[in-house]
Amino acid sequence: DAGITQSPRHKVTETGTPVTLRCHQTENHRYMYWYRQDPGHGLRLIHYSYGVKDTDKGEVSDGYSVSRSKTEDFLLTLESATSSQTSVYFCAISESTGLGQETQYFGPGTRLLVL
């Protein structure tokens, strides 16, 4: 499974609280991504990183921030969780040279419920 882990795997939190999800890879891949998956919407890109401290926004970035201080770790933070952020969050990695044209491998996912 491409050496990708996510933590926690399940989380229940309350509206207004901060939440941080972690993605860890052992493949030393340059590119890392955060997606959310919701019924009827498929997978949508939140943020991605193309190197240490290099990140950029995706399609649905509002309400989320990310950080990458080491090649192997990519953190997704919900500064103040809302019920609309209840979702399944997937991390992905690739050796993309840019323009998203290389294979992406997904982590096991984190199921987040915001009450």
Partner 1 sequence: GENVEQHPSTLSVQEGDSAVIKCTYSDSASNYFPWYKQELGKRPQLIIDIRSNVGEKKDQRIAVTLNKTAKHFSLHITETQPEDSAVYFCAAPGGGGADGLTFGKGTHLIIQP
Q: For partner 1, what does the binding mask look like between residues 53 and 92, x meaning CB under 8 A?
A: ---xxxxxx----------------------------x--
Do 46 and 61 contact (CB within 8 A), yes or no?
yes
3-state SS class at 96: coil
Which is closer to partner 1, CB of 73 or CB of 105? 105
39 to each of 87, 97, 100, how far by Cα in Å? 9, 31, 24
Helices (H), the chain: none
Told to check if 22 binds partner 1 by CB under 8 A, we report: no
Give the residues lining the site for partner 1 (CB under 8 A). Answer: 1, 31, 33, 40-45, 48, 50, 56-61, 90, 96, 98-109
